[in-house]
Every structure is written in C-alpha cells, then in structure tokens.
Structure 1
Amino acid sequence: MKAIFISLLFLLCSTFILAQDIQVNGSIQDELSQEPLVGAIIINQETNDYTVTDKNGHFTIEVGQDALLQFKLLGYAMLSLEAKDLPSIILMKQDNLVLNQVIVSASRATQRREEAPMAITSIGAAVIEEAKIQSLEQVINKVPGVLMTDLGSEQHMMSIRQPISTKSLFLYLEDGLPIRPTGIFNHNALNEMNMSMAQNIEVVRGPASSLYGSEAIGGAINFITKSPSLVPSAKIQLRGDSYGYKRLDALLEGTTNNGKLGVSIGGYSAKRENGYLDHSDFNKNIITSVIQYQVNESLKITNTSTYMKYFSDMGSSLDSTSFYNKDFTSLHNFTKREIELFRSTFTVDQEWTTSSKTVAKVFFRTNTLGQIPSYRIKNDWSNPSFAKGEVNESAFKSYGAVLQHNQKIKPLKTTLRVGASIDYSPTTFWANYIEVDRDENGKYVGYSPTDSVLSDYQTNLLNTGLYAQLEVNPVERLFITAGVRSDHFKYDYKNNLGIEAFSGAPNSMSYFNAVTPKLGATYTFRNGLGFYTNYSVGFMPPQVSELYRGVKVPELKPSNYKNIEVGSWYTLPKELGYLEVAYYQMKGTNEIVSVLQEDGSYENENAGSTHHEGVEAALHFVPNSQVFLRLGGTYTEHTFENFNTGKEDFSGKVMANAPNWISNMEITYKPNFLKGFRTSLELQTVSQYYMDNQNTKKYEGYHLLNLRFGYQIKGFETWVNIMNITDELYATRVSKSAWGENYNLGAPRTFQIGLGYTISKNK
C-alpha cells in the first residue's frame, strides 16, 4: 500500500511539473548585420500572451514547454519556433517586400511607413549587401524618381525632383545630421560616406525643410549607421574589377555579455589605377567607430566617429569628337582633389516613460578640401601656349547640437515632437592664380605657381533652428501630420584682401531667415490600400561662393520651393508584393541668377522661377519564393517659368539635363535547389534630354544592363558582377556651352569580383 501511495504521489508530482509553465529568454538580432532588434514582438500562440524585446534585443516570456512562439517585427519575415527548441539568439531576416517598414527620416524618430505622408524609400542592409556596390549610385538608383550620376572615384551629381545638378538642392545626412554646414554645399559630398557601415539608407523625395532645414529641397538622403552586433563578429571582404579597382573592407564588432557595452569599428581602403579614363586614379581610406553604452533600462549613450583621407585625379570631361571616337585621353595630367575629414557625434537617448523620450546629439566636424580644379583652367587667347587656372582650398570646422523631445499624448492619440538645433561653422577659402602650360596638341601639361592671390577670406556661419511636428491619429488608420520650422542664419564675412583683388568684397554681415511649414495625411484601408497627401516647403539660403566671390556683396534672399503631392500604395494579396505611386508639383521662386548689369559685369540676383512636375511609381512582385521582380521609374518635366540673365532669356524653356523618363528594373532569382545562390539582371534607362538651357541640342540618353551573381555558404561568400554587359558607350551627364559639348564618360563593360568571410559566435 505504501508503495502504491508513493507511486501515485510521484506521478502527480511529475504531471504537475510537466504542466508548469517555463520561463524562456533570448535575444533577437538582424540575420545580416547581427545588430539587436528593438521592439520585436514575441507571441505565445497558445494563449496570445506576448512580450517585446528591449533596447538590447532581449526578451523573457513564460510559456508551456510545447508552446509555439511567433516572432514579428515590421520589415522582417515572421518566424515560428517551438519554445523547447528555442536558441539563445534568434536571427530574423529582412523582408524587403514589406511596404510599411519602420523608418526614422520622416520624424527623426522610429515610426511606421504608413504614418508618414511623404515619398520615402528605405534601402535595407540586405539590398546593399547583395548588390556588392563599388559606388553608391549602384543602390541609390534603385529608388524611383532618383538618378545619381557617377563621375568616377565616388564623385557624383544628383537628380531628385530636379534636373541633374551640382546645386545645393539635396541634403545629405548621417544619422539625421547634415554632413556639411549650410552655405558650403559640395555636390560630391556622398564620397565622404562610409559605405561599409551603412545599416540602411533612407531616401526622402521632395522638400523636408520643415524638419531638417535648408537644402532639403529635391530630397534628402539619410545614411543610418549600423549598431554593434549582440555577439562578437568579424567580417573581411576583398574586391576588384577589370579596370584597376581594388578594395578591402573590414569590420569588427560585439557586445558584452551583460548587454551594457557594444562596440563596432569598420571601414575600407579603395584605390584605382590605370582606369578606363585617362588621369582618373583615386585612393580612399575611411574608418568609422561606434561605441554604445546602456547606462540603465532608460538611458543609452552612443558615440559615432568617422575619419577619411581621400585623393583623386581630376581628369577633364570629353568633347563630342573624343567621346564618339572613344578617345578617353584627358586634357589634364596634374589636376586633383584631396579631402581629409573627421566627424564625431555623441548621442544621449533618454526614455522617461513609455510615452516620453528625449534625444540629444552633440557633434563636431572638420573638413579640408584642396584642389587644382580642371574646370577652372581657361585658355589665354593672346598666347596659345599658355592658360590660366587656380589652386584652392576650402575648409570648415563645425560645432553643433540637436535636441528633440517626443511626447505621446495617449488619450488624444497624438504625438508631439519639438526640437532645436544650432550649428556654428567657421569656414575659410583661399585660391591662388597659376600659370598653365599647353603642348602643341592643346593639352595642359604643367603649371607654375604665382604670388597672385585670387581669394582669401573667412566666413563664420551660424544657423539656429526651432521646429515642431504634431502627429494625430483621430480615427483608426488615419494619421495627420503638421509641422513647422524656423531657421535663422548669420554669415560673418571677413576678407583678407584689398578691394582691388579678384574677390575684393568688403567685410560684411549677412542675415537670412526662413519659416517652412508642412501638412499631410495618410489613410490605409483594411485591404492594404493606402493614400497620402502633403504640402511642404523647402528653402535654400545663398551659398558663400554666391555672396563673396566678386568685388561686392549682392543683396540676396533664400530661394523658396513649394511642393504639393499625392500618393498611394497597395499591398498585393497573398503576399505577392506591393505597388506605390506618387504625383507631385513643385515651384521654385527667388532662384539665384547671374544677371548682366549695365556696366557689362554680372551680379547674382533673385530673378528666377521654375516649375517641376512628375509621377513616380514602383512595383515589387514576388510570384514565388524564388523570384523577385522590381520595377521603378519616373516621368518628370522641369521648365523655366521666368529666368532672364540680361543676356539670355530662358523663360518657357525646358531645363537642361532634365530627362523626362528614368527607370530602373531588376529581376532576382534565388533557387531552392541551391541555397545561398543568387543572380539578378538590372536595367537602367535614362531618356534623352537637352544639353543646354537654350534647348538647341539633345543627348540621346542610354540603357544599361547589369548582371550579378553571388553565392554564400556558411561564413564564406563570393560574387561576380558584370556591369554594362552590352558595353554601351554612354555619358552620365552631357552639357553644352559656348565653348563646346562636355561628356562625362560612363563606365564601359566592367567585371567586378569579390570574396568575403564572416565569423561570429553564431557560425
């Protein structure tokens, strides 16, 4: 009897123990970047109880031993795992087909894409990594409505709701901060980015000045730096191409066991020698470090620092005869560009409550750009053996801060975001005249320095801004956003030269002010169909070079751009993909024009107005798990409404370098029978456009085919990209002036190969 009682007691205890819930915990991280994923939802399928990952990607949940757990996060493929077989680290894969991704650039804070009334695209780490890019246009141009033109050596021009341009119409950001101060825009500034440390790239199309201030007119490109991975990890990649390009990428990262301290350091060294274009060598070394410290559950401190040293030859563009005869010899053999920079940002992220959060950023930047520019070399018509040019250097140091507070008012279903920014940037510029020698073939073969100083001045730039944004969710699936920003600029100019100098403008103080509002709304139906509309304003104060290059300081006002747009998206049934479309109209006024004066001189004036209109569309289609089709394109019209220089009147003309059609299409295949293999075929199309504002001649445009192969097994990866597989002769930009036609040569057929290895605790 005693034995039976003991047996029953043992059985009851065993049953009770087996029936008890168990506590499971773990961490969730991105499969590719291995960074912790914050806000992932873990659902117990038996009870529908759930929990959410914390700032370190950690979670804890009580479940039955046989429970099935579901893992969900916007922008990632859903996972289902049994609790008893749960690994300590769960890897989630980015789902590039999810339309309502998590974005940050629309509000400087994390929010769902469906809440943002603007055209915005997020290029995820998976797309960047699989493309194996050698320069940024190879992924930026996948965004509909965007054309980033390659000028070689990671140099570029941009077109987003504007013609292909070197003007300060586009804002380039790193983690929400401009990488250069207002007033000294550089159209090549994206060559200052560390491609190997980009977690994702967000592209805003249309004005974003109500949040980010000046120059966010055609659009803004925000590079978001990857966070340190949860586990120790190291990656190395070697790549090269058939035209002398070589590059080494390296990354080390990890987080301590207690999740407090995370560190990553990564960068690359790239060089090209003896490229397809004469005098086009370059060398770039860039490194970025990220240090994160989780002080407690509500306070996190992050430092991100980047150092870069860059050198490139500056070959000449080609005339029409050289271009079509495939004579890629440069007219110059000594022109160059050199950059050395350092930038560092400290970020304090304080969460007061689940509804209240403050983010403060303090930054420092220093940047020196020295060059002997090929575009400044002019012939001496009195002596064919000589020409003239200049050697110059521009430099700045920046000290600044951005403070933003986000407050959710749950009873009103409202979020209020208020912020302030300050940027103090002392800048210098000097230029010396040089005498240039020409040979019997008209090539510029050398130069002699002189004591003649063309420019030597300092401008202390101060920009302060206040902004506020209100986001209201009055009824389910309807979001209304209203925002406004007030900016104030002070340009304190000191000339070190006399009034007789080439740039002899007197010492002066210039002030500019701008108020930029926006208003928009989004609504999403239950069937996945959504709409948005917005009105936004962008502005651009005069550049330093537009104010102080001459002998007097012109009276100028900021240029102003007003934009109206509507858009829609539709998530296809059965997870087949999605469709999005946007239509916009934008008008620019007070644009700065160099106007002929009565005495024969030219002076900058606010005398121009332009009209910009277009449709942008994209389709992502997935017929099955192995095939992915992406179609994207835009039709635009860019015209002068009023643009009279006193010598020429462009009013009513089509703007130069403004193709009507731009498209980028790609089909990707990842076969089930060969895991880790991928291949894609991409078509880039740019239609014809006028070379000049007088509309006298057109460039025919081009079609490019790119073919990519890649294979990954465990930590090893190899790839082959064949760019421009038809070897089409094309120019990334063509312009026409009184001196002739200028063609910026596009790369011929190029074979790119690479090999990489990643090692981590998970592998």
Structure 2
Amino acid sequence: MSHLYRVISAVLLLFTVMTQVSAQQLFKGKIIDASTKEPVQGATVQCNAGCLCACATGSKGEFEFKPKRNCCSSVRISCIGYQPVIFDPGSSSLAPITVIQLQQASSEIQSVVVTANREGVRRSLAPVAVSIVSSRTINETRPVSVDQVLNKVSGVYMVNLGNEQHSMSIRQPMTTKSLFLYLEDGIPIRTVGLFNHNALLEMNMSAVKSIEVIKGPSSSLYGSEAIGGVVNFITTAPSAIPVMKLSVQGNSIGYKRAELQTGFTLGKWGIAVNGYYADKRNSFMEFTDFHKGTFTARVDYAFNTKTLLSNSFTYMDYYSDMTGGVDSAMYINKSFSSRHSFTFRKVLAKRFRSTLTHAWNENSKSTASLVFRNNLIGQNPAYAVKDDFRRTASGEWKGQKDLAHGELNEATFKSYVLILQHRQKLQWKESALIGGVSADVSPSSYSAEYIRINRDSVSGKYNSYRGQDSLLTDYHNDINNYAAFVNFETSPFNKIRLVTSLRYDLFRYNFNNFLPPSSYSGAPDSKNQFNRLSPKIGFTYNMSARSGLYANYSQGFVPPQVTEMYKGVKVPDLAPSVFRNYETGGWWELVKGKLTADLSVYLMKGNDEIVSMRLDDGSTQNVNAGETTHQGVEWGVNANPFKCLNIRFNGAISSHRFDTFHEKGLSYDGNEMNGAPRWMHNAEAWYRPAFAKKLRVGLEWQKIGSYFMDPTNSVRYEGHDVFHFRAGYSWKAIEVWMNILNITDSYYAYTASKSSSGYNYTPGEPRNLNLGISYDFANFLRKTR
C-alpha cells in the first residue's frame, strides 16, 4: 500500500512540475520603429502587473520574455523617445515571432540625441539647445525641400532660394556666410574652408530618418563653422522587416518626383537603398527649371553582437536654372519673368563612408570611420552678371547699355578623411569620457573664365554670351585639417550633470596659382596655417524627472575661407573669426503626457569677423575688423489636450547688431544687421481622429517678422505670414497625401535685400496643391502589430 502511495505521489509531483513549466510560456518578439521599421534597441519588456518579470531588446530589436509565474496576462513595452504600449501575448499567434511597432513620442524632453556629444545622450542630460525633427514629422510632412521640415524648429529659418538652393538663419541673420555646419551621421558634408551655402541640396532626403539641430557654437566637438548651429542628418539604417516603398508626387506649379525606399535584414547582413528623381518644368516663375537624381546605398555587416561594419555610398546629380530673383519693380508688379536665359548651377557629388564599431564591453566602445568625398560645382552664376552701363562713384552713368560681364566657373575637391573615436564609461560619479582624432586631406581646384554677355538695352534681358579666352581665376589648393577632441561628463552631485569638451584644430592651406601676378586674380603662391583651441563647459540640473535647467559657455571659430584668402591680387593676413556664447535654459513637463515646454536664452559675441575694407587707392582687401552681438530667446511648447490632437508652437525673439563694422568705406556701427527679423515662429496642429486611426490632418503657420534689407538700415521688408494644410491617409500598403501650401495665396518673399546694385527679392511660391501616393510592395511579406 505504501508503495502505491509513493507512486501516486510521484505522479502528482511530476504533473505539478509539468504544469508549472508549461505555464512559463516563452514569448518571442521583435520591436521596431513604426516610421522607419528599424529595430529598437534597449526597449524594456516587463510584466504590466508590476512584478519583476522583465527583459530588454538587443541590437536587432528582438526579445525573449519568460514570466516567472502566472501574473503576466499583459506586457508593457517602453523605450526612451517612444510611446509605451500594452501588449497581450495571448492574443497573438507567436509563430515564429511577433513584430511590435512603437510610435515616436511627440515630446523631445526624454529623447536621445546623438549630436550633443557625438555618441548619444538623453536630451535632459545635454546642456545645449537641441531640437529634433523626427522621422514621424518628416513622413507626415512629406516635404518637397528640406526647409519645409527644418523651419519647424524654434529659431531656425532656412531660406528657400528655389530648387533646393538655400541660405540659413540660426542665431544669425539670413546669410550665405560660413556660420553653419552641416553633418551627415555626424560627419561634415563638405570639407572645411570650402563652405557652400547651398550644401543641403546635396542631401538625399529619402535616406534621412531624422534631423538634429544644435543651436549655438559647437566647435569644441565638431570644429570650424559650427557657429550659429549644427544640423545633423541621421540616415536610415537597414530595416528589421522588409520594406520596398515606391512613391510618386507632383504639384500644380510644375514639380514632379518619384522615390524609392527599400531595406531589409537577412542574418548578419542589412541592406538599404533609398533615392529619388525630381524634375520641375514651367513653374510660376520663368527660367526656374531643375532636375535632381540621388540615391544612397547602405550595407551593414554584423560580425557578432559587439562588432558592426557599416558602409554607405551617396550619389547626386543636380542641375538648376539660376534666375537670380527679381528687382523691386518686378516684385511690386508681380512680374515673374526673368532677365536671364542661360545662367545655371550644376552639382555632382559622391560620398562614401565606412564605419567599424566595436563594443569591448558594456562600458567601452570604439569607432573608426573612413570617408571619401568627390564634389564638383559648375556655374554660370546670375550673381556674377554685371551691367557695363552703371553709375560711377561720382554719380555719372558710363558704359555700354547692350553689354554685360559674367563668368563660367568650376570648383572641385576630393576629400580623404579618417576619424577615430572611443567612449569609456567610468565607475566614478557616473562619468564618461569620449575622445578622438581626425584627419581631413582635401585637394581642391577652382577656375573662372570671363564671358561677354549680350544685353537687350530695352528689356534688360541677357540674351547670349561668348567666351573671351580670358581666365579670371585658376588655382589649386591643398586643404588639410587635423584635429583632436575630448568630451568629459560626470555627475559630481545628485541631479547635476557636468559636461565639458575641448578640441584643437590645425589647418594648412597650400595655394598654387596658375595665373601670373598681373591677372585679375594674381595672388602669389603661398602656404598658410591656422590653429584654434575651442572649449565648452556646461551643466544640467534635473529638478525632477519632469523638469530641468541648463547653462553653458562655448566658443566657435571660422578660419578664413579659401575664396576670402586667394581670390584677389594678394594674400591678406587673416586670422580665424571667433564667437563666444553664453546660454541658459530649461525644459518642463507641465502636465504629464499633455503639456511640455522648453526655453533657451543666449548672448553671443563675434570678434575678428572678416570684412572687405576699401583702401586709399580705391581697391578692397579682406581684414579681421568686424564685431557683432547676437542675443535672443527661443522657446517651444507642445500640447496634447486630447489623444487625437497635437499642438506645437515654436518661436524666437532675437536681436543681431553690428558693434564695429566698416566695409568698403561705409560704417555700420550700432546698426541692426540686415536680414535679421526680430520675431519668427512656426505653429502647427495635427488631428488624428479615433474613428479613422490612419487619417491625419494638419495646419501649419509660418511667421517671419520685419527686418532691414540693407546694413545701413534705410529700408525694411515688412515680413509675412504663410499657412499650409496637410492631410494623409494610410490603408494597408497604400498611403496617399495632399498638401496645400500657402493656402491663403499670400504674396511674399522668401528673402529681400538691397545693395548698391539695387533691390533683390526671391518670391515665395503661390498657393499650390501637392498630391502623392506610395505603395509598400513588401507589405505582404510581413505580419506586424
């Protein structure tokens, strides 16, 4: 009997154990970004009942969740920068794996930003004014050009000069000067010393998943030209699930575009190919046709969970008519004819990057990047066309009315770049050290040929031109930039994060002129060297998880550009321009999940700015003689009063003044800088109704205040208000959208200026309708939640 009892007891025990084992069901899944379809690393999967059952996703976004007991009827998934979701494992067929998509959070406060320290840090721990244009914002805006998303950032006004050409205003007036640094995945798009205000037309926006904007000097991390701001375009990585989207769109003023976005991961390989072809014909303004073809191919290979090799190649071919804006009479009369018929800009750009990343352990990571750039810009520029018949200094009119002068020029460079970087977490005070070195060797060439232009003396149109076998400029320049940088972060006290960084840059120009000293540009062969040590120090004080303050001091610098050094008859003795910035601000979650705000206040002083000084003999020479003051307040408010409604308001009040500025015989001391609106803001509301979850409707308001059109402060542009309407709807693999830009048909100018040669306006686009549709051919291959 006792033997039978033991057998029954053993069977019951075995049954109980098997029951408990079977209850511990293993849930497998993959978590991805709903917009980019990229894997989300570091997401937390935990029991929603509050027990200790939890796990985190790896580099591929995958997880295995095994509850310790029967308490996990639902699972909460959360990650910094995303909206948390509650997932019911029992409602899913887990064969072979469940894919869960996370929506990006509308608030930036707890987002991770890469640009702030070159590695990635939570927004609340970065003592800088930083804004993020998320992939969700880009996808819902469906921008035709970069300015349509970048201008949503407080204190940023990217000036649309037509056909993706642009100038910029970030803590500076609207300007074409080298005061902004443009990055792609943390690496400059162009080499130092060869700044081009149109550099962002070289971007492939179909390969961009987000944009980070650091406002104020960041030379301590990224080197020269990072003065008004740093704009970093983060490109799309291979998607965790197959994606193959084809989209087409067009608007009512001649613009057409076809776009391809693909990506997938297969084993250790990840591949993404993104590109588009855009074309514009017969727009509202004469002589503004253009076309652009670009693609980016990225191939990643994961040797293991610690080592990744990422390779990307971008190619772009661009051509645009260059109309050159309109004068005051044409602007007043709403005449959109062009005096030009042959001016153009063409750009051919190639970029290759190979980055090897290795994580030695949880506290140590190294990266090595090799970069190659090959760039050509050819122009028959409208800005170089000068009438022969014009007023002299004495007030007399002289010259031929049917003659004008211009040039054909071509600038090329190649870059060979090496960047080494290491991040080390330290045990003391939650400290971290990031350091590295870089070398950029960029041989460049520039040539300009004089052309004689036939001008209609009655209509003023420039009809034709012919070369004169006369070179205005012809030189070669080797540009070398060597740098070392370090960034140290620590928490010496509770709630306080101290961040300091330092960078040393050495520049060498080796100029070789192919023209004799008697030429128009006869500067002698020379070797010039510049160096600069750039510091930055700041701290954050997080009063709670929902509020924080920050302050920083930083320096930025700009070495003389190649064109400022060598485009003349002699080489001037120039030094880098230096900018010192003092800044404070904060961020607050005023109502949890409903209302957030951020604020920045800054004062920046510029010294040794390069100006063109008129000499006693009537000639001009570049000298370090300019001093300016820039100050302002920037803010952003984000409200979610209802789950289906999001309201955003970003704005800036600023003042930009000449302290000491004498140029070409004129003094601007104490004047407001031209092209510097005191007030600008961008407000937007999005409505996503609960009864139609895939529908979105948005209204945007762009405000640019009045500003002086010239440095003598003689005339103002009164500013403008522009409204845009956007709507989109997704159904399975199809998405359609409709954008009505400038819905009130406001008549305005993107930019307006006055100089000795007269007034110049770049007319804004009239009301236009943009329609688009996309289809994801890979949709049938996947099953997602």
Normalising by structure 1, we get a TM-score of 0.98
Identify which range, 601-610 or 5-14, moves more after superposition: 5-14
Letter paired with 2:269:
L
Report if aligned partners of 2:33, 2:39 keep a CA contact under 8 Å in 1: yes
Equivalent position to 1:27, from 15, 25, 30: 30
| Superposed displacement of residue 528, structure 1 | 1.2
Check whether the contact 2:620–2:664 (CA below 8 A) recurs between aligned residues.
no
* Structure 1 stretch displaced more, 652-661 or 75-84: 75-84
Task: Write out aligned runs for 1:93-104 (5 A).
Answer: 93-104=103-114
Shift, 1:5, TM fit:
9.3
Tell me whether 59-68 or 324-333 shows the greater mean CA deviation: 59-68
Segment of structure 1 superposing worse, 314-323 or 55-64: 55-64
Kindly indicate whether residue 629 of structure 2 is the aligned counterpart of residue 625 of structure 1.
Answer: no
In 2, are the aligned partners of 1:66 and 1:82 still within 8 Å (CA)?
no
Alignment-derived partner of residue 127 in structure 2: 117
How many angstroms does 1:688 deviate by? 0.5
- Alpha-carbon distance change, 151 to 9 in structure 1, aligned in 2, over 3 angstroms: same
Aligned pairs (5 A) from 1:168-567 = 168-256=178-266, 258=267, 260-381=268-389, 382-439=399-456, 440-526=458-544, 528-567=546-585
Checking the alignment, whether the CA contact within 8 Å between 2:108 and 2:131 is kept in structure 1 is: no
Alpha-carbon offset, residue 79 of structure 1 = 1.7
* Partner SS for 1:622: strand
Which of 706, 715, 722 pairs up with 2:733?
Answer: 715
Q: Distance in 2 between matches of 1:743 and 1:686?
A: 15
For 2:345 and 2:41, how far apart are their aligned partners in 1? 42
Number of the residue aligned with 1:69: 75
1:411, CA displacement in angstroms? 3.2
User: Residues 392-431 of structure 1, C-alpha deviation per residue, up to 9 Å, x if partnerless?
Assistant: 0000000001111100002331001111111000000000
Corresponding letter in the other structure for 1:301: L
Q: Which amino acid letter does the alignment assign opposite residue 92 of structure 1?
A: L
Verify the 8 A CA contact 2:708 2:717 in the aligned structure 1. Answer: yes
Give the structure 2 partner of residue 649 of structure 1. 667
Pick which of 157-166 and 315-324 moved more: 315-324
Residue 661 of structure 1: how far off its partner (Å): 0.3
Seen in structure 2, the aligned counterparts of structure 1 residues 646 and 125 have a Cα distance that, compared at 3 Å, is closer
- 2:168: which partner in 1? 158
Answer whether contact 2:108 2:132 (CA < 8 A) is retained: no
For residues 682-733 of structure 1, what are the alpha-carbon distances to aligned partners after superposition, in whole Å with 9 as ceiling and x for unaligned?
Answer: 1000010000000000000100010111111111111111100111111011
SS in 1 for 2:592: helix
Instruction: Specify which of 51, 55, 76 is matched with residue 55 of structure 2.
Output: 51
> What is the one-letter code of the residue matched to 1:220?
V
**Structure 1 CA distance for aligned equivalents of residues 256 and 719 of structure 2:** 30
| In structure 1, C-alpha distance between the alignment counterparts of 2:332 and 2:747, rounded to whole Å | 8
Deviations 1:500-524 (A, max 9, x none): 1111000000100111100000011
Q: Which amino acid aligns with 1:62?
A: K
Give 1:15 shift: 3.8
User: Taking structure 2 as the reference length, what is the TM-score of the superposition?
Assistant: 0.95
| Aligned equivalent of 2:694 | 676
Deviations 1:718-749 (A, max 9, x none): 11111001111110111101221100111110
Whether the 8 Å CA contact 1:380–1:388 is kept in 2: the answer is yes
- Judge conservation of contact 2:158–2:168 (CA < 8 Å) in 1: yes
Aligned equivalents of 1:15 and 1:299: distance in 2?
44
* 1:82 partnered with 2:113: no
Query: Separation in 2 of the partners of 1:510 and 1:199?
Result: 40
Letter in 1 for 2:709: M
- Contact conserved, 1:65 with 1:83, CA < 8 A, in 2? no
Cα deviation code 1:55-106 (max 9, x no counterpart): 2222223214652322111110112223444652221111122412011001
* 2-structure distance, mates of 1:551, 1:464: 29
CA distance in structure 2 between the partners assigned to 1:7 and 1:235 by the alignment:
62
Distance, in Å, in 2 between the alignment partners of 1:289 and 1:466 is 30
| Structure 1 residue 635 corresponds to structure 2 residue 650 | no
Counterpart-to-counterpart distance in 1, 2:230 and 2:548: 23
Q: Secondary structure at the match of 1:305?
A: strand
Whole-angstrom CA distance in 1 between matches of 2:664 and 2:716: 25
Distance of 1:304 and 1:31 partners within structure 2? 23
Q: 5+ residue gaps in structure 2?
A: 390-398
Q: Which moved more, 1:474-483 or 1:513-522?
A: 474-483
- Is 1:40 paired with 2:39? no
For 2:413 and 2:331, how far apart are their aligned partners in 1? 37
TM-superposed deviation, 1:172: 0.4
- Paired with 1:365 and 1:512, the residues of 2 have a C-alpha distance of 23
Deviation at 1:17, TM superposition (A): 2.5
Q: Determine whether 1:729 maps to 2:747.
A: yes
Matched position secondary structure for 2:492: coil
* AA aligned opposite 1:206: G
Shift, 1:176, TM fit: 0.3
* Distance in 2 (alpha carbons) for counterparts of 1:630 and 1:659: 21
Q: For residue 456 of structure 1, give the secondary structure of its aligned residue in structure 2.
A: strand
Q: What SS does the aligned partner of 1:652 have?
A: coil
| Secondary structure in 2 matching 1:139 | helix
Could you tell me which residue of structure 2 aligns to residue 575 of structure 1? 593
Gaps of 5+ in 1: none
Deviations 1:305-335 (A, max 9, x none): 1000000000021111101211000110100
Work out the CA distance in 2 between the residues paired with 1:322 and 1:24.
68
Amino acid at match of 1:344: F
**2:392: which partner in 1?**
none
Q: Secondary structure at the match of 1:589?
A: strand
- Secondary structure (helix, strand or coil) at the match of 1:216 reads coil
How many percent of aligned residue pairs carry the same amino acid?
Answer: 40
Q: Residue 474 of structure 1 aligns to a residue in which SS? A: strand
Residue 3 of structure 1 and its aligned partner are, at CA, apart by 11
**2: CA distance, partners of 1:338 / 1:566:** 42
Query: 8 Å contact 1:74–1:98 — kept in the other structure?
Result: no
Verify the 8 A CA contact 2:557 2:579 in the aligned structure 1. yes
Q: Tell me the SS of whatever aligns to 2:548.
A: strand
The alignment's C-alpha RMSD in Å is: 1.6
Structure 1 pair 672–6 and aligned structure 2 pair: CA distance change class (3 A): farther
Contact 2:113 2:122 in 1 (8 A): yes
Task: Return the letter of the residue paired with 1:185.
Answer: F
Counterpart amino acid of residue 44 in structure 1: C
The CA distance in 1 between the partners of 2:494 and 2:80, in whole Å, is 19
Determine the structure 1 residue equivalent to 2:395: none
What is the identity, as a one-letter code, of the residue corresponding to 2:542? T
In the alignment of these two chains, the number of paired residues is 761
31-40 or 387-396: which moved more? Answer: 31-40
The one of 716, 729, 732 equivalent to 1:698 is 716
Distance 1:324 1:477 in 2: 57
